[in-house]
Amino acid sequence: MKDQENHQDRKKHIDEDLMEDFDEEEIDELVMQAKADALERARTEEKEPKPKRRFSKMIAILIAVAMAFYVLSLFPRVISVPAIDFLQASSRLSQDEQVAAYKEAVVAIETNDGKGTGFSISEEGTILTNQHVIEDDPTVTVAFPEEGLFQGEVVEEMPEIDLAVVEVEGENLPSLPLDETASAEHGDYIRFIGNPLFFNGIANEGTILSPLQLSGWDKEVMMIRAPVYRGNSGSPVINEEGNVIGVIFATLDHEEYGNVGLYVPIRYFTNE
């Protein structure tokens, strides 16, 4: 009973922006695509040399204008100014050969309910992600940027630290090294890679803030000042030496620092 209460406590601290339920946004995306298709059809029909009544043409124009306004009203919800900022940052960081190599080991994990991030930690196909990304799904789809799709089996779940292990059958897969002994000091520079919003393989950067004790957690987590968004769950936090020191799992509105990202130190996994 106590374990169940602690699990519920831990879930309270997983920001809804990081939960991997994309239903509403996927609907918006489908609506946007449908509106775009309708506009394209309207343009095509307008070019075709068919006799049309003026009244019908006016109705078509009014519908197209209404659709355009609707699409524009949805646009900020998907592509906000901060989102444009992180896309620009990712483009800049991805010019670095090391970051480009890191990205090859970061995967998209698709479940029955949504999508999240994970990363390979062995050439044979061991994937690390958040437990809340794969919760209740014994198998998932794992997509590598270069190697393609794999069927993944959830082989271990650690809800007390919100981590899970997924295995795929592979050889010579790209992977990231873990550093369980690395220090994490205030102001340290970090990079992380994930699949936020509707994008894949987005690299970004930030700095470490300080440890934080969450209610329902036995161990402290770490706060970072960084642009963490929905879909970054399971993103590897990489230090300047190129080693993974943590796994992003949530965001939090902190009374001192404002909106921050949270990661689970990798030593919690390696010492399990």
Same domain, 201 and 265: yes
Q: What percentage of the chain has pLDDT greater than the value 70?
A: 69
Exposure string over 76-93, b if 16+ CB within 10 A, otherwise e? eeeeeeebeebbebbeeb
- Over the stretch 176-194, which tens digit does the pLDDT of each residue have? 999 988 889 999 999 999 9
- 72 lies in a domain? yes
The domain of 57 spans 23-79
- Examine the fold and report which residue of 46, 79, 112 is the final residue of a domain before the chain moves on: 79
Domain containing 199 — which CATH number? 2.40.10.10
Q: What is the DSSP letter of 193?
A: E
- Over the stretch 91-122, which tens digit does the pLDDT of each residue have? 899 999 999 999 999 999 998 888 899 999 99
Domain count for the chain, please give it.
3
User: What does the DSSP assignment read for 81-122?
Assistant: HHHHHHHHHHHHHTTSHHHHHHHHTEEEEE-SS-EEEEEE-S
- Examine the fold and report which residue of 120, 135, 167 is the final residue of a domain before the chain moves on: 167
Q: Does residue 245 surpass a pLDDT of 90?
A: yes
Same domain, 199 and 259: yes
pLDDT averaged over every residue in the chain: 81
Same domain, 106 and 141: yes
Same domain, 204 and 264: yes
14 forms beta bridges with none
- 7 lies in a domain? no
Same domain, 265 and 193: yes
- 175 lies in a domain? no
- Over the stretch 128-164, which tens digit does the pLDDT of each residue have? 999 999 988 999 999 999 999 999 999 999 999 999 9
